[in-house]
Amino acid sequence: MLLQNLVGGIMDNAVLEAIRKRRSIIRFETTPIEEERIKAILEAGRWAPSWLNKQPWRFILITDQDVKEQVSNLVPTIYNLGVKEAPVCIAVCADPEEDPYHFIEDGAAATQNMALAAQSLGLGSSWIGAFSLEAGKNTAEERIKGILKVPKRWRLISVMAIGVPKYYEEKERKPVSEIVRRDSFQTPM
């Protein structure tokens, strides 16, 4: 109860509001995004946490329509529409040699930071997981890496479409009491 009252009283916090409002957007308007907003989103990715501050990521800004269409053809979900329509996509790559223990988490943290920054700037995004546990030649990850000319040792963690949403849906979340435990998995909060 205390946690619910505390959270309810501070939801006007800008960070918490961006977290609560962020949705995975499938369809985007073709409205261009100002360079200032794109740079702010990339800056949010740059400030993501990483193991020992290794910052093992590179971000590929994709604005060329032909490249976006090639990538969208390899996205195996409905989110491929967003990759085609969004004015901007960002591919997040990570170097396992730079951070062999946490490169996936580091890339995921950078992706999440950029998704939240986009939301806070009045834009929508969709986070499309591209990482494949079996880094084989015929995976979507490897084929997208080929399109984007990503070096072999690097891994593609995600592709994120960013733009003005065509629509926005309110969603409900499970209550805190259903997902939080105290001191052991068996003890409800």
Q: pLDDT tens digit string along 58-111?
A: 999 999 999 999 999 998 788 888 999 999 999 999 999 999 999 999 999 999
What would you report as the CA-atom Rg of the chain, rounded to the nearest whole angstrom?
Answer: 18
Calculate the CA 17 to chain-centre distance: 17
Q: pLDDT tens digit string along 110-141?
A: 999 999 999 999 999 999 887 877 766 788 88
CATH code for residues 24-167: 3.40.109.10
Question: Using CA atoms in the order 115, 116, 117, 120, what is the torsion angle rounded to 10 degrees?
Answer: 130
Of 123, 133, 141, residue with least CA distance to 28 = 123
Domain range summary for the chain, segments of one domain joined by +: 24-167
* pTM over the 0.75 mark: yes
